[in-house]
Structure 1
Amino acid sequence: MKNPVKQQIECNNLPILSSQDRGWENILVEQFQHPAGEGRTCYTKEHAICISLAPRPVRLLQNKGGKVYAGLYGKGDISITPAETAFFARWDSEDRFVQIRISSNFLQNIARETLDTNPDCLEVISEFKTRDPQIESIGMMLLSELQENLGGKLYIESLVNVLAVNLLRQYSTTQPRLAIYEGGLNEPQLLQVLEYINEYLEREIKLADLARLLDMSQFHFSYLFKRSLGIPPYQYLLQQRIERAKQLLKQKERSIMDIALECGFNSHSHLSKQFRQFTSMTPKVYRANQSNTH
């Protein structure tokens, strides 16, 4: 029979929330809340980023690959552990944090496609305690999406690409530079992308699908798209879905559930949440208002 204390520790190591079953590619995002304790791990194919959510600073003893750090971690403090690095930690009070594990193969692909760097020369640097507003912001957006599930895969993929580039530029041995692109997409390129989005609005459109249309990296596509329209691809996609929903809601015989699916939302509630964000009203109220104006 298992030792009851050990069994309790193992149970407490389970995440509160996890993206494991969300279909997110190249990344795993999990939210944890642990009582005082200790733990050890080693991820062979993923780099791990931990962002503290602790409302009060927590004293931590950490050992990464033989290097030791002891000190207080407060909300927003970040720890980075490269793949294949043995990690041990002991904390003396309740700890809360979000852990982001990003595929090392994906990071290599980003280095090759986006930064024109030999991925074999890249090595992610271990960090015990650091502050990085950009990575913290991306982490909080990923956590929010984990909690709310509103943005969709195009949104997640955009965040993952930006996170990967930041990780490579700030926390790798070579610290490669990002090529700077002037202007945005040219008119034929932009029209090709917008027509594709319009035609497949009801489908799960991926960032890779859009970037492949123009034969460029996902990061550069996102950057140039935003330069062209002033908003990122995921936001444009969401706007178009809401606009189509508005048109379909004028057809009184159509159920809101059917409209949600036809516009690329996964449920009635998913459409309602996004619709309310854009219009400050639910689809049902919007439909009623349309009836009152005619």
Structure 2
Amino acid sequence: MMYYERAQGALLYTSEKRTEGNLRSDPSYKFIYAIDGNMAYKLPTFDTTLTTHQFVVLNPYDRHQQLAVEQKKFLIELSPSFFQDVSEALPQRDHSLQFPWIVRKHLPLTQWVAFLSTMLHVSSEQEFQLFLDHSFTQLALLLLQTQHPAREIESYRLFQPLIMQTMEAMYEDAQHTWTLDELSSLIHLSKYQYAHVFKECSGISPYSWLQLARLHHAKQALLHSKETILSIALQAGFPSAAAFTQLFKRLFGMTPSVFRANRSNK
């Protein structure tokens, strides 16, 4: 087992395959990454499995339980105050550091984990500790990138510009009921090719990504407007307030009304 603790957070890298007996909650953000084989977790509203290169982010005090680890466990905890400092330094600050419980991929994160793993095995302990100090900031920036669709779209510009083009279309017109035919026609692929490439790149389907974009628009409206939940839901592209509330609660563990009330009290 390898465990490194720094002021910004901690890294755990182990081949232990134990199952946690009970649900737990911790005061940090948790970046859980399937570096080698599958990992199964119980999250607050559902059970899920991460396949190789997929990740999920847990917020402070999110209740969770590790159910199974196939090969190795790779987990990083980040201090909320550190995360907040990094977020506030960005030009497009997100006032809600609340990550949705969705299992996905992000190529820059995959590359970051691969590089960190290499450094872990070739560096002296002192060198690696110094390397971690800088790497935690980079990780926080990459995670914030995945939380904000506009930032995530920009990251695809270099390594998958075609997928970026369809993400941009969905983000800019999230109210539209996009079909695979429409999206694939934007980049001149068959809908089957497009769906496969999108899932390989992002770990989720185009429809799931569209729902995340809608949730982002809705979250911003909850934070910065006094619109009703129904109005916010419809403007973001959801068919009803009930559909919006159901998805929001599944991925954030609270209703939109509770989320808004919690943020207004801070």
TM-score, length of structure 1 as denominator length? 0.44
- Considering fraction of residues, name the structure with more helix: 2
- Considering fraction of residues, name the structure with more strand: 1
Indicate the structure (1 or 2) with the bigger Cα radius of gyration: 1
TM-score, length of structure 2 as denominator length? 0.48
